[in-house]
Structure 1
Amino acid sequence: MADGYNLALLPGDGIGVEVIAQARRVLEAVARLDGLDLAFDEIPGGARYFLEHGSDWPQDAAGRCAAADAILLGAIGWPSPDGRGTALRPDGKMAGWSAVVGNRIGLDLYANIRPVRLLPGVRHYVSGRHRQIWRPSDVDMVFIRENTEDLYSGAGGILAPGGDAQVAVDTRIITRRASERVLRLAFETASRPDHARKGTPRRVTCVVKDNILYGCRLFVRIFEEIGEQYPHIEREVVLVDAFTQWLVRRPEHYDVVVAPNMFGDIITELACALQGGVGMSAGCNVGERHGMFEPVHGSAPRHAGTDRANPMAAVLAAGEALRWLGARRGDERAAAGGDRIEAAVRAVLRRGRTLTYDLVGAQRASSTSAVGTAIIEALGDEAPCDEALCD
């Protein structure tokens, strides 16, 4: 049982600042309710910080992240001063890179885990209209993406003779070590006693392009080797282009989905649509010793400061952080706090009265802070789910 937890907060840019503020409010309320000792270390940084200071974050920020029990990240990214795309550092990396990719590599956060669940009461925009396409029971899966290599390894560059850019090279790196870790995690996740879904077999789907790419062929070879050690888990290999249509046509088929970094990045963004958009999607970057949790949306500069962004993904990410800490430390109170947060989000969705524009449209929309308050008020709500909405 842990005595207390130090959480590093990286609000970052744009709406990241607003949604992390609400996530912190919810965490503080849960700490009061469940007797958790939570301390917060808020670290400035991001693209705007770089434009003002010439560095991604303060000099001691990396050490503070490493010392934290968990990290909660908002969003990184801001337009460049000349208006041509996103702000970049002189080395070509995005401004604020250290907080995102730098932490993933420096803290060896080798797996990006995204639970994709359609929560009751969430509706979707299709052709500009809110429609309920999937039942909550149809969308309940976990995406596990390799998080440190592939095209994100930084191997490559631009050849510019005479200062005129002529050739750009991005080298894709797939290693056995990184592949083995993330693939084993996928099978272990599918094997967990608490993972079983009613009416759905335990299954791991490997998404690749192994008919063309050598790195994917190695990834599949390791997938099959490890899969043989889990005979009770079904396994399948699917080409990434085919997977995109099957994911939308039959989401109920998928249980655990695993992929290399780049393909995983793309398909998890598509999966967000199944759960109501990026405002509902939380990402977990985890390794052997460290964890960083985040809403998967961007900084949305045009919405910054308007108090209209959906904070639910950030709040759900905070809940995932508590559950991760609870599992690592054998702390039932922390794990229960994470469960309490998700239950509160579900309660607010079920009531349908206090939701942001992305879920109910501009005319009925509530503010970011109002949604945060509604979640806090629902933290003690133990009302059962309305069956008509749950399925």
Structure 2
Amino acid sequence: MKHVYEIAVVHGDGIGPEVCAAAVEVVKAALGSGSPLRFTEHPAGAEHFLKTGQSFPEPTFQACRAADAILHGAGGLPGVVYADGTEAGLDFTLRLRFELDLYANIRPVRLFEGVQSPLSGVKAGDIDYIILRENSEGLYAARGAGALLRGEVAVDTLVQTRVGIERIVRKAFELARQSNGAPRDGVRRVTCCDKANVLRSYAFFRSVFDDVAKDYPDVATEHALVDAMAMHLVLKPGHFNVIVSENMFGDILSDLAAATVGGMGMAPSAEIGAANGFFQAAHGSAPDIAGKGIANPFGTILSAASMLDWLGLKHSDEKLSQAAERIRRVTQACLAKGLLSADLGGTSSTRQITHSVCDRLAAAA
């Protein structure tokens, strides 16, 4: 157990500073006096690029690498791009993923009481699964390394390695073992999502999945093609427990999944490796509502709870794990009582939500 945990805070762009500040305030309330976390702010993002010509300064990267955990708001702004057309603000997330080897992107998908799903007849408890996105390989590994030939032909390469697939698949089975199973039948199940019927790279992913699955006879397994999976997440979301997929597929499917549980404002994520952990909501910077005080902070708050969970497990610090559980319980209670932001059909402001969550945490303490 450590006495002080260094948390690198990067607010980012758009609504990033609003939701990130809310999450920091909630974590402090959950831990109370004598908090072992020390938060230090660092610059990065599209706004910083416009001011300085750098989207991710080297001192910020070094601080993130040295920190016990990284908490991020959101990155990127429309039209703020490099000469090749790629977004300047995305460098922060992508560089951390690849250079710190944050291979596991854990995206919980849960429908809370009080939040209306667009799916007919679906209620709280019916949707509760994890999309585990391989975070270091796949098609996105080609960023910055693809080829554009004479303005006529563009090529990006999809890369999958046995080591990369094995470790993300093992993480999927470990998560399933720790879970309560799928909502519909209680079965602990890992679903391999790929496009094995068309591309060798995905057939390879599936074959490695099948090999690893032999080590987990207590966990059910199945395969699903990605196009069919897009349908299944709408028609039978209660069937799923843990879904594991290649980088790009996991990115796309997790956005679809978020829409079934209230939208991107309810989409936390944890990106972890052997040494580092990076935590942010899966949503974008939403510059159209930035500064209006109506951004939904729940995704970032729940991401911060995952940060405490990860730190607590890594350092055998029960105080952090208990604080994470309190944040989730209070979040659930607030949503059930109708504390909803505009994107969820409510009228509560970012500050109202933050204060309510903090007040409940103080009362619980």
TM-score range, shorter chain: over 0.9
**TM-score w.r.t. structure 2 length?**
0.95
The answer to whether structure 1 residue 2 and structure 2 residue 2 are counterparts is yes
Shift of 1:289: 0.7
Q: 1:156 aligns with which of 107, 128, 146?
A: 146
Rounded Cα–Cα distance in structure 2 between residues aligned with 1:102 and 1:170: 18
Aligned to 1:50: 49
1:125 offset after TM fit, Å? 4.7
User: Is the 2:129–2:182 contact (alpha carbons within 8 Å) kept by the matching residues of 1?
Assistant: no
1:378 match: secondary structure: helix
Find the aligned partners of 2:253 and 2:76 in 1 and give their Cα distance. 21
Q: In structure 1, what is the equivalent of residue 113 of structure 2?
A: 120
Partner residue of 2:129 out of 133, 141, 156: 141
Q: Distance in 2 between matches of 1:6 and 1:98?
A: 22
Is 1:284–1:292's contact at 8 Å kept on the other side of the alignment?
yes
Q: Give the alignment's TM-score, normalised by structure 1.
A: 0.89
Whether the 8 Å CA contact 1:124–1:359 is kept in 2: the answer is no
How is 1:218-257 mapped onto 2 (pairs within 5 angstroms)?
A: 218-257=204-243
| Displaced runs of 4 or more, over 3 A | 90-93, 194-199
8 A contact 1:47–1:96 mirrored in 2: yes
* Number of positions where the alignment pairs a residue of Structure 1 with one of Structure 2: 361
Q: Map 1:275-354; keep pairs closer than 5 Å.
A: 275-352=261-338, 354=339
Report the Cα offset of residue 76 of structure 1: 0.8
Task: Indicate conservation of the 8 Å contact 2:138/2:160, yes or no.
Answer: yes
Q: Secondary structure at the match of 2:221?
A: strand
Deviations 1:84-132 (A, max 9, x none): xxx2223554202331000001111001001111111111357xxxxx7
SS at the partner of 2:311?
Answer: helix
The alpha-carbon distance between structure 1 residues 283 and 174, as it changes in their structure 2 partners (threshold 3 A), is same
Matches for 1:260-279 after TM superposition, within 5 Å: 260-279=246-265
C-alpha distance in 1, partners of 2:353/2:251? 28
RMSD over aligned Cα, in angstroms? 1.6
Partner of 1:297, secondary structure, is: coil
| Contact kept in structure 1, 2:148 and 2:154, CA below 8 Å | yes
* Partners of 1:42 and 1:91 in 2: CA distance: 30
The whole-number CA distance in structure 2 between the counterparts of 1:300 and 1:332 is 35
What is the CA deviation profile of residues 6-56 of structure 1, one whole-angstrom value per residue up to 9, with x for unaligned ones? 1111111000111001111111212216x4311111111101111211111
CA drift of 1:273 comes to: 1.6
**Residue identity matched to 1:360:** G
Q: Which amino acid aligns with 1:369?
A: R
- Unmatched 5+ stretches in structure 1: 81-86, 127-131, 383-391
> What SS is found at the alignment partner of 2:140?
coil
Identity of aligned residues (%): 42
**C-alpha separation between the residues in 1 aligned to 2:242 and 2:27?**
28
Q: Pick from 356, 361, 374 the counterpart of residue 341 of structure 2.
A: 356
Q: Which residue of 2 aligns with 1:39?
A: 38
Q: Is the 8 A contact 1:36 1:334 kept in 2?
A: no
Amino acid corresponding to residue 349 of structure 2 in structure 1: S
Corresponding position of 1:102: 95
Structure 2 runs not aligned, ≥5 long: none
Q: CA deviation at 1:57?
A: 2.9
What is the CA distance between 1:59 and its match in structure 2?
2.8
Number of the residue aligned with 1:178? 164
Say if 1:344 and 1:381, in contact at 8 Å, map to a contact too.
no
Q: CA deviation at 1:288?
A: 0.6
Offset, 1:195: 4.1
What does residue 88 of structure 1 align with?
81
C-alpha displacement of 1:259: 0.3
Alpha-carbon distance in 2 for matches of 1:212, 1:186: 24
